[in-house]
């Protein structure tokens, strides 16, 4: 695909990216910026942290670092009960953005258009009463379509219903690492969790470095990054450490709403299958940097070999 065709397909928002003087956008020599986004809101009581304690720990971590505002992409079935609903309400009361992640967590390429869109609108009906609800939609598993027809039909639906895509730039294997940590706690509730913390921080830092380097090559600057995490024990324990790590290493912590104002988030990359990290999509659509893409998160098999070797 040539440069002219690429620019046409990724949409009007990309035109702003070529202008190095664009107001409010940090360029190559500036500090990278990162916002927290949280998927699903699947909360349970666990041996080390109850759902309520985990929820408060994550909120406290954000509050303690400049009252940082995250975005929570909520799967409705996980909060449609009298126990979990008040936990989500705490995020709304604290001013965090609430977005749509479907009601049933259907994966779009494996779900017909009618079923998927009805489920999306069902979730809107559930969540719209929250003052911080916004029409920002994040696809489950970041999968936006397996065919051109499927992808473009959904993009048109989202535009017609006033939605924008809640892209993530930095994906990670926090769900897999969380599962390993939980299994250790089941075997040994008093286990030393510091090796899990250090492994998790190294994992996120490596992902962030890969994607920020890719951003500078594809866009000519550092995008306002969105880090994709989940509401789990791992982040209940270590979200504060994650935020401190990025700040200590020269990254600015920013609100999710500000990150989504980066014009790159308006891009619609012309790739099939569509989905994954926004930066991975933009790199693929450009026809360059294919060998520089970070390993996909996938099923955690890469992390499995690493964690097995470390005895985690």
pLDDT tens-digit readout, 35-49: 999 999 999 998 789
- Integer CA distances (angstroms), 236 to 84, 218, 247, in order: 16, 34, 19
Pairing, β 164-165 against β 252-253: unpaired
Instruction: Report the domain count for the chain.
Output: 1
| Domain-embedded: residue 25 | no
Query: By residue range, what is the domain housing residue 130?
Result: 31-290+299-310
- Per the CB < 8 A criterion, the answer to whether 223 and 261 are in contact is no
| Domain-embedded: residue 18 | no
pTM: 0.90
Q: In this predicted structure, what is the pLDDT of residue 29?
A: 54
Alpha-helix residue ranges (DSSP H) falling in 39-173: 51-63, 85-93, 113-127, 148-160
Q: In this predicted structure, what is the pLDDT of residue 4?
A: 36
| Domain-embedded: residue 12 | no
Alpha-helix residue ranges (DSSP H) falling in the chain: 3-10, 51-63, 85-93, 113-127, 148-160, 174-187, 194-218, 233-248, 256-259, 278-286, 301-310
Mean pLDDT value across residues 235-257: 98
Q: In this predicted structure, what is the pLDDT of residue 11?
A: 39
| Domain-embedded: residue 59 | yes
pLDDT digits (tens, 9 = 90+) for 211-233: 999 999 999 999 999 999 999 99
- Integer CA distances (angstroms), 281 to 75, 83, 104, 207, 273, in order: 24, 38, 25, 16, 10
| Domain-embedded: residue 21 | no
Residue 24 has pLDDT above 70, yes or no: no
| Domain-embedded: residue 1 | no
Per-residue confidence band for 9, with pLDDT thresholds at 50, 70 and 90: very low
286: tokens are 């450009």
Q: In this predicted structure, what is the pLDDT of residue 112?
A: 96
CATH of the domain at 62: 3.20.20.370
| Domain-embedded: residue 2 | no
Cβ-Cβ contacts under 8 Å for 180 (sequence gap 6 or more): 196, 307, 312
Q: What percent of the chain has pLDDT over 70?
A: 90
| Domain-embedded: residue 129 | yes
pLDDT digits (tens, 9 = 90+) for 250-263: 999 999 999 999 99
Rounded to 10 deg, the angle between the 174-187 and 233-248 helix axes is: 130
Helix or strand or coil: residue 52? helix
Per-residue confidence band for 2, with pLDDT thresholds at 50, 70 and 90: very low
Q: In this predicted structure, what is the pLDDT of residue 3?
A: 35
Residue 52 has pLDDT above 90, yes or no: yes
């Amino acid at each position: 695909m040539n440069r002219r065709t690429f620019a046409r397909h990724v949409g009007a928002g990309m035109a702003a990216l070529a202008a190095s003087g664009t107001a409010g956008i940090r360029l190559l020599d500036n500090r990278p910026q990162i916002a927290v986004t949280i998927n699903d809101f699947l909360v349970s009581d666990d041996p080390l942290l109850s759902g309520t304690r985990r929820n408060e720990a994550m909120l406290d971590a954000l509050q303690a670092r400049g009252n940082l505002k995250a975005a929570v992409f909520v799967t409705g079935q996980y909060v449609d009960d009298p126990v979990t609903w008040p936990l989500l309400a705490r995020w709304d009361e604290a001013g965090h953005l609430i977005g749509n992640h479907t009601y049933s967590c259907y994966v779009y390429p494996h779900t017909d258009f009618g079923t998927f869109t009805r489920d999306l609108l069902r979730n809107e009906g559930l969540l719209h009463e929250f003052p911080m609800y916004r029409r920002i939609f994040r696809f489950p598993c970041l999968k936006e379509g397996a065919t051109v027809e499927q992808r473009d039909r959904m993009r048109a639906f989202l535009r017609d219903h006033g939605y924008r895509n809640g892209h993530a730039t930095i994906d990670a294997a926090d769900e897999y690492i969380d599962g390993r940590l939980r299994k250790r706690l089941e075997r040994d509730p008093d286990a030393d969790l510091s090796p899990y913390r250090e492994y998790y921080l190294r994992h996120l830092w490596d992902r962030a470095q890969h994607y920020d380097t890719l951003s500078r090559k594809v866009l000519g600057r550092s995008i306002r990054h969105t880090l994709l995490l989940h509401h789990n024990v791992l982040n209940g324990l270590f979200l504060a450490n994650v935020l401190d790590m990025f700040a200590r290493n020269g990254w600015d912590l920013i609100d999710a709403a500000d990150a989504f104002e980066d014009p790159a988030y308006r891009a619609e990359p012309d790739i099939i299958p569509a989905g994954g990290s926004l930066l991975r999509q933009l790199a693929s659509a450009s026809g360059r940097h294919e060998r520089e893409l970070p390993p996909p998160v996938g099923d955690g098999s890469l992390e499995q070999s690493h964690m097995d070797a470390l005895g985690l």
